[in-house]
Amino acid sequence: MPAIAIIGAQWGDEGKGKATDLLGNRVDYVVKFNGGNNAGHTVVIGDQKYALHLLPSGILTPGCTPVIGNGVVVDLAVLFEEIDGLEARGVDTSLLKVSANAHVIADYNRSLDKVTERFLGSRRIGTTGRGIGPTYADKMNRVGIPIQDIFDEKILTQKVEGVLELKNQILTKIYNRRSATVEQTVEELLAFAERLHPMVCDTGLLLNQALDRGETVLLEAGQATLLDVDHGTYPFVTSSSATAGGACTGSGIPPMRMDQVIGIVKAYTTRVGEGPFPTELSDDFGEHLRKVGAEYGTTTGRPRRCGWYDSVIARYAARVNGVTDFVLTKLDVLTGLEKVPVCVAYDVNGVRHDEMPVNQSDFHHAVPIYEDFPGWWEDISAAKTFEDLPKNAKDYVLAVEKMSGARISAIGVGPDRDATIVVHELI
Q: List residues with catalytic annotation.
A: 13, 41
Cα–Cα distance for residue pair 355/408, rounded to 1 Å: 20
Cα–Cα distance for residue pair 309/270, rounded to 1 Å: 9
Please answer whether residues 408 and 328 qualify as being in contact, where contact means their C-beta atoms are separated by less than 8 angstroms.
yes
Picking from 411, 384, 385, the residue whose alpha carbon sits closest to that of residue 397 is 411
Cα–Cα distance for residue pair 314/317, rounded to 1 Å: 5
Cα–Cα distance for residue pair 114/112, rounded to 1 Å: 5
Cα–Cα distance for residue pair 5/218, rounded to 1 Å: 6
Cis peptide before 235 (omega within 30 of 0): yes
Burial class (CB in 10 A: 0-12, 13-18, 19+), 89: exposed
- 3-class DSSP assignment, residue 56: coil
Residues ≥6 apart with Cβ < 8 Å to 226: 10, 11, 232, 233, 237, 271, 313, 316, 317
Task: Look up residue 178 and give its DSSP letter.
Answer: P
What backbone phi and psi angles, to 5 degrees, belong to 261?
Answer: -125, 115
Please answer whether residues 152 and 133 qualify as being in contact, where contact means their C-beta atoms are separated by less than 8 angstroms.
no
What is the pairing mode between strands 325-329 and 351-353?
unpaired
| Distance from chain centroid for Cα 281 | 23
Cα–Cα distance for residue pair 364/27, rounded to 1 Å: 40
Picking from 219, 157, 311, the residue whose alpha carbon sits closest to that of residue 32 is 219
